[in-house]
Protein backbone atom coordinates (compact mmCIF):
# COMPACT_ATOMS: atom_id res chain seq x y z
CA UNK A 1 0.00 0.00 0.00
CA UNK A 2 1.33 3.46 -0.96
CA UNK A 3 1.90 6.00 1.79
CA UNK A 4 1.61 9.75 1.95
CA UNK A 5 2.41 12.06 4.86
CA UNK A 6 0.72 15.44 4.99
CA UNK A 7 1.96 18.09 7.40
CA UNK A 8 -0.79 20.64 8.03
CA UNK A 9 -3.72 18.27 7.57
CA UNK A 10 -6.01 19.39 10.40
CA UNK A 11 -7.90 21.80 8.14
CA UNK A 12 -8.13 23.40 4.72
CA UNK A 13 -6.40 21.94 1.69
CA UNK A 14 -4.17 19.53 3.63
CA UNK A 15 -7.16 17.92 5.37
CA UNK A 16 -9.06 17.51 2.13
CA UNK A 17 -6.11 16.00 0.24
CA UNK A 18 -5.53 13.60 3.18
CA UNK A 19 -9.07 12.23 3.08
CA UNK A 20 -8.97 11.99 -0.74
CA UNK A 21 -5.82 9.85 -0.62
CA UNK A 22 -7.28 7.67 2.15
CA UNK A 23 -10.46 7.20 0.12
CA UNK A 24 -8.30 6.11 -2.83
CA UNK A 25 -6.78 3.36 -0.67
CA UNK A 26 -3.54 5.00 0.47
CA UNK A 27 -2.12 4.85 4.00
CA UNK A 28 -2.02 8.43 5.17
CA UNK A 29 -0.01 10.04 7.95
CA UNK A 30 -1.33 13.40 9.05
CA UNK A 31 0.18 16.00 11.35
CA UNK A 32 -0.56 19.44 12.76
CA UNK A 33 -0.92 20.98 16.24
CA UNK A 34 -4.66 20.53 16.87
CA UNK A 35 -5.08 16.96 18.15
CA UNK A 36 -8.87 17.10 18.32
CA UNK A 37 -9.10 17.93 14.64
CA UNK A 38 -6.50 15.34 13.68
CA UNK A 39 -8.47 12.68 15.58
CA UNK A 40 -11.63 13.71 13.76
CA UNK A 41 -9.86 13.32 10.39
CA UNK A 42 -8.53 9.89 11.42
CA UNK A 43 -12.05 8.82 12.34
CA UNK A 44 -13.15 9.26 8.71
CA UNK A 45 -10.82 6.38 7.64
CA UNK A 46 -9.57 4.93 10.95
CA UNK A 47 -7.79 1.94 9.44
CA UNK A 48 -5.89 4.01 6.86
CA UNK A 49 -5.02 7.24 8.68
CA UNK A 50 -2.42 7.68 11.44
CA UNK A 51 -1.85 11.01 13.09
CA UNK A 52 0.86 12.73 15.06
CA UNK A 53 0.66 16.03 16.89
CA UNK A 54 3.53 18.04 15.43
CA UNK A 55 4.26 21.71 15.81
CA UNK A 56 6.74 22.37 13.02
CA UNK A 57 8.23 25.25 15.00
CA UNK A 58 9.07 23.02 17.98
CA UNK A 59 12.52 21.45 18.49
CA UNK A 60 11.06 17.91 18.32
CA UNK A 61 9.36 18.40 14.93
CA UNK A 62 11.86 16.43 12.84
CA UNK A 63 12.00 13.55 15.34
CA UNK A 64 8.20 13.31 15.41
CA UNK A 65 8.06 13.47 11.61
CA UNK A 66 10.58 10.62 11.35
CA UNK A 67 8.58 8.64 13.92
CA UNK A 68 5.46 9.12 11.79
CA UNK A 69 7.32 7.72 8.76
CA UNK A 70 8.21 4.72 10.89
CA UNK A 71 4.62 4.29 12.09
CA UNK A 72 3.49 4.16 8.46
CA UNK A 73 6.39 1.83 7.65
CA UNK A 74 7.69 4.19 4.96
CA UNK A 75 6.68 7.17 2.87
CA UNK A 76 6.17 7.61 -0.87
CA UNK A 77 4.97 11.24 -0.80
CA UNK A 78 5.52 14.13 1.57
CA UNK A 79 3.11 17.04 1.19
CA UNK A 80 3.89 20.14 3.22
CA UNK A 81 0.53 21.90 3.56
CA UNK A 82 1.21 23.68 6.84
CA UNK A 83 1.24 27.41 6.63
CA UNK A 84 0.22 30.62 8.24
CA UNK A 85 0.07 34.27 7.29
CA UNK A 86 -1.81 37.50 7.80
CA UNK A 87 -2.94 40.63 6.13
CA UNK A 88 -0.41 42.71 8.05
CA UNK A 89 0.00 46.26 6.74
CA UNK A 90 0.72 47.45 10.31
CA UNK A 91 3.80 45.14 10.31
CA UNK A 92 2.95 43.46 13.61
CA UNK A 93 6.24 41.74 14.41
CA UNK A 94 4.64 38.80 16.22
CA UNK A 95 2.65 37.94 13.09
CA UNK A 96 5.75 38.22 10.92
CA UNK A 97 7.73 35.98 13.27
CA UNK A 98 4.93 33.39 13.40
CA UNK A 99 4.80 33.37 9.60
CA UNK A 100 8.54 32.80 9.32
CA UNK A 101 8.35 30.05 11.97
CA UNK A 102 5.90 27.92 10.01
CA UNK A 103 6.55 28.92 6.39
CA UNK A 104 10.32 29.19 6.52
CA UNK A 105 11.87 27.41 9.52
CA UNK A 106 9.26 24.66 9.90
CA UNK A 107 9.07 24.20 6.13
CA UNK A 108 12.84 23.81 5.91
CA UNK A 109 13.01 21.32 8.77
CA UNK A 110 10.37 19.02 7.30
CA UNK A 111 11.37 19.28 3.63
CA UNK A 112 15.03 18.80 4.54
CA UNK A 113 14.18 15.67 6.59
CA UNK A 114 12.01 14.30 3.77
CA UNK A 115 14.82 14.81 1.24
CA UNK A 116 17.28 13.00 3.50
CA UNK A 117 14.78 10.18 3.94
CA UNK A 118 14.36 9.74 0.18
CA UNK A 119 18.09 10.02 -0.37
CA UNK A 120 18.64 7.17 2.09
CA UNK A 121 15.93 5.02 0.48
CA UNK A 122 16.61 5.96 -3.15
CA UNK A 123 16.88 2.36 -4.30
CA UNK A 124 13.57 1.39 -2.76
CA UNK A 125 11.17 3.76 -4.49
CA UNK A 126 10.92 7.02 -6.32
CA UNK A 127 9.78 9.57 -3.79
CA UNK A 128 7.82 12.76 -4.15
CA UNK A 129 8.19 15.95 -2.16
CA UNK A 130 5.44 18.51 -2.65
CA UNK A 131 4.55 21.74 -0.89
CA UNK A 132 1.63 24.10 -1.14
CA UNK A 133 3.32 27.47 -1.57
CA UNK A 134 1.32 30.30 -3.17
CA UNK A 135 1.17 32.70 -6.09
CA UNK A 136 2.05 35.27 -3.40
CA UNK A 137 5.71 34.35 -3.89
CA UNK A 138 5.75 36.11 -7.24
CA UNK A 139 6.14 39.62 -5.83
CA UNK A 140 6.56 41.37 -2.50
CA UNK A 141 3.03 42.21 -1.31
CA UNK A 142 2.98 45.34 0.83
CA UNK A 143 0.00 44.15 2.87
CA UNK A 144 1.61 40.74 3.58
CA UNK A 145 5.36 41.29 3.52
CA UNK A 146 6.47 38.28 5.59
CA UNK A 147 3.93 35.98 3.93
CA UNK A 148 4.93 36.84 0.36
CA UNK A 149 8.63 36.71 1.24
CA UNK A 150 8.18 33.33 2.95
CA UNK A 151 6.47 31.94 -0.15
CA UNK A 152 9.31 33.15 -2.37
CA UNK A 153 11.70 31.38 0.01
CA UNK A 154 9.69 28.17 -0.45
CA UNK A 155 9.77 28.51 -4.25
CA UNK A 156 13.54 28.95 -4.23
CA UNK A 157 14.20 26.16 -1.73
CA UNK A 158 12.17 23.69 -3.80
CA UNK A 159 13.89 24.76 -7.01
CA UNK A 160 17.27 24.28 -5.32
CA UNK A 161 16.27 20.83 -4.04
CA UNK A 162 15.24 19.80 -7.53
CA UNK A 163 18.68 20.73 -8.81
CA UNK A 164 20.36 19.01 -5.86
CA UNK A 165 18.37 15.82 -6.41
CA UNK A 166 19.42 15.83 -10.05
CA UNK A 167 23.10 16.32 -9.27
CA UNK A 168 23.08 13.76 -6.44
CA UNK A 169 21.01 11.26 -8.45
CA UNK A 170 18.42 11.16 -5.70
CA UNK A 171 15.27 9.44 -6.81
CA UNK A 172 12.76 12.12 -5.84
CA UNK A 173 10.54 14.59 -7.68
CA UNK A 174 9.88 18.05 -6.30
CA UNK A 175 6.52 19.74 -6.81
CA UNK A 176 5.75 23.37 -6.00
CA UNK A 177 1.98 23.93 -5.85
CA UNK A 178 0.98 27.58 -6.12
CA UNK A 179 -2.71 28.31 -5.57
CA UNK A 180 -4.40 31.68 -5.72
CA UNK A 181 -6.98 32.50 -3.03
CA UNK A 182 -8.72 29.45 -1.55
CA UNK A 183 -11.65 29.54 0.87
CA UNK A 184 -10.00 27.96 3.94
CA UNK A 185 -9.61 28.95 7.62
CA UNK A 186 -6.39 30.77 6.64
CA UNK A 187 -8.53 33.55 5.17
CA UNK A 188 -10.47 33.77 8.46
CA UNK A 189 -13.88 33.70 6.82
CA UNK A 190 -13.23 36.72 4.58
CA UNK A 191 -14.91 35.76 1.31
CA UNK A 192 -14.24 39.09 -0.43
CA UNK A 193 -11.00 37.92 -1.99
CA UNK A 194 -10.93 38.07 -5.79
CA UNK A 195 -11.14 34.83 -7.82
CA UNK A 196 -11.69 32.87 -4.59
CA UNK A 197 -11.62 29.10 -5.18
CA UNK A 198 -13.22 26.36 -3.10
CA UNK A 199 -11.26 23.49 -1.54
CA UNK A 200 -13.45 21.12 -3.63
CA UNK A 201 -12.15 22.78 -6.78
CA UNK A 202 -8.51 23.02 -5.74
CA UNK A 203 -7.88 19.64 -4.07
CA UNK A 204 -8.10 17.46 -7.22
CA UNK A 205 -5.75 19.86 -8.99
CA UNK A 206 -3.23 19.55 -6.16
CA UNK A 207 -3.47 15.76 -6.29
CA UNK A 208 -3.04 15.70 -10.08
CA UNK A 209 0.05 17.93 -9.88
CA UNK A 210 1.64 15.61 -7.32
CA UNK A 211 0.82 12.41 -9.21
CA UNK A 212 2.07 13.88 -12.50
CA UNK A 213 5.29 14.98 -10.77
CA UNK A 214 4.83 18.54 -11.98
CA UNK A 215 7.77 20.77 -11.04
CA UNK A 216 5.52 23.82 -10.64
CA UNK A 217 1.72 23.90 -10.72
CA UNK A 218 -0.15 27.19 -10.45
CA UNK A 219 -3.79 26.70 -9.51
CA UNK A 220 -5.67 27.60 -11.54
CA UNK A 221 -5.07 28.86 -15.11
CA UNK A 222 -6.61 32.25 -14.26
CA UNK A 223 -4.13 32.62 -11.43
CA UNK A 224 -1.30 31.52 -13.74
CA UNK A 225 -2.20 34.45 -15.98
CA UNK A 226 -2.48 36.90 -13.09
CA UNK A 227 0.83 35.88 -11.54
CA UNK A 228 2.46 35.93 -14.98
CA UNK A 229 1.25 39.53 -15.39
CA UNK A 230 2.54 40.42 -11.92
CA UNK A 231 5.98 39.09 -12.82
CA UNK A 232 6.04 41.35 -15.89
CA UNK A 233 5.40 44.51 -13.86
CA UNK A 234 8.66 46.38 -13.22
CA UNK A 235 9.42 47.38 -9.62
CA UNK A 236 9.10 51.09 -10.45
CA UNK A 237 5.43 50.46 -11.32
CA UNK A 238 4.75 47.68 -8.80
CA UNK A 239 5.32 50.10 -5.87
CA UNK A 240 2.34 52.19 -7.06
CA UNK A 241 -0.07 49.25 -7.01
CA UNK A 242 -2.69 49.48 -4.26
CA UNK A 243 -3.43 45.95 -3.03
CA UNK A 244 -6.51 45.89 -0.82
CA UNK A 245 -8.26 42.77 0.52
N1 LIG B 1 -6.09 29.77 1.59
C2 LIG B 1 -5.46 30.44 0.64
O3 LIG B 1 -5.98 31.41 0.04
C4 LIG B 1 -4.08 30.01 0.21
C5 LIG B 1 -3.62 30.44 -1.03
C6 LIG B 1 -2.36 30.06 -1.46
C7 LIG B 1 -1.57 29.25 -0.65
N8 LIG B 1 -2.05 28.84 0.56
C9 LIG B 1 -1.18 28.00 1.37
O10 LIG B 1 -1.75 26.73 1.48
C11 LIG B 1 -1.25 26.08 2.65
C12 LIG B 1 -2.43 25.47 3.39
O13 LIG B 1 -3.23 26.51 3.92
P14 LIG B 1 -4.82 26.47 3.98
O15 LIG B 1 -5.30 27.58 3.14
O16 LIG B 1 -5.33 25.08 3.74
O17 LIG B 1 -5.04 26.96 5.48
P18 LIG B 1 -5.46 26.26 6.83
O19 LIG B 1 -6.78 25.59 6.71
O20 LIG B 1 -5.28 27.32 7.87
O21 LIG B 1 -4.38 25.11 7.04
C22 LIG B 1 -3.11 25.35 7.56
C23 LIG B 1 -2.62 24.08 8.21
O24 LIG B 1 -1.32 24.35 8.74
C25 LIG B 1 -1.26 23.81 10.06
N26 LIG B 1 -0.30 24.54 10.86
C27 LIG B 1 -0.26 25.86 11.13
N28 LIG B 1 0.75 26.12 11.96
C29 LIG B 1 1.37 24.93 12.21
C30 LIG B 1 2.47 24.53 13.01
N31 LIG B 1 3.16 25.42 13.75
N32 LIG B 1 2.83 23.23 13.01
C33 LIG B 1 2.15 22.32 12.29
N34 LIG B 1 1.08 22.63 11.52
C35 LIG B 1 0.71 23.92 11.50
C36 LIG B 1 -2.69 24.01 10.59
O37 LIG B 1 -2.98 23.11 11.66
P38 LIG B 1 -2.91 23.44 13.22
O39 LIG B 1 -3.46 24.81 13.42
O40 LIG B 1 -3.75 22.34 13.81
O41 LIG B 1 -1.49 23.31 13.59
C42 LIG B 1 -3.49 23.60 9.36
O43 LIG B 1 -3.64 22.20 9.32
C44 LIG B 1 -0.50 27.16 3.44
O45 LIG B 1 0.87 27.04 3.20
C46 LIG B 1 -0.99 28.45 2.80
O47 LIG B 1 -0.02 29.49 2.90
C48 LIG B 1 -3.28 29.20 1.00
Ligand 1 pocket residue status of 83, Cβ below 6 Å: yes
The answer for residues whose C-beta is within 8 angstroms of residue 115's C-beta and 6 or more apart is: 129, 161, 164, 165, 170, 172
Q: How far is the CA of 30 from the centre of ligand 1 (A)?
A: 13
**Ligand 1 pocket check for 203: Cβ under 6 Å:** no
Q: Which of 16, 83, 130, 188 to mutate to test the pocket of ligand 1 (most atoms within 8 A of CB)?
A: 83
Which top CATH class is 3-238? alpha beta
pTM assigned to the model: 0.97
Going residue by residue through the chain, which has 245 residues, state the pLDDT in tens, using 9 for 90 and above. 999 999 999 999 999 999 999 999 999 999 999 999 999 999 999 999 999 999 999 999 999 999 999 999 999 999 999 999 999 999 999 999 999 999 999 999 999 999 999 999 855 568 999 999 999 999 999 999 999 999 999 999 999 999 999 999 999 999 999 999 999 999 987 778 899 999 999 999 999 999 999 999 999 999 999 999 999 999 999 999 877 65
> Domain boundaries in the chain?
3-238
Contacts of range 220-229, beta carbons closer than 8 Å, 24 or more positions apart:
220/179, 220/180, 222/180, 222/195, 223/135, 223/178, 223/179, 223/180, 223/195, 226/135, 226/180, 226/195, 227/135, 227/138, 227/178, 227/180
Q: Is 14 in the pocket of ligand 1 (CB under 6 A)?
A: yes
Amino acid sequence: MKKIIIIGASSGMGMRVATDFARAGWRVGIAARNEERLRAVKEIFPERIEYSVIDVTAPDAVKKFEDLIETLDGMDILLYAAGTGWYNPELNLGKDEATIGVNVTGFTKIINAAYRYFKATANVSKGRIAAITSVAGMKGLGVSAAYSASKRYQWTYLQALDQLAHSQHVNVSITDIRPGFVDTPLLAGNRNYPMLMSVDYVAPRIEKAIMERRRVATIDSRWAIVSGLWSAIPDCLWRHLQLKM
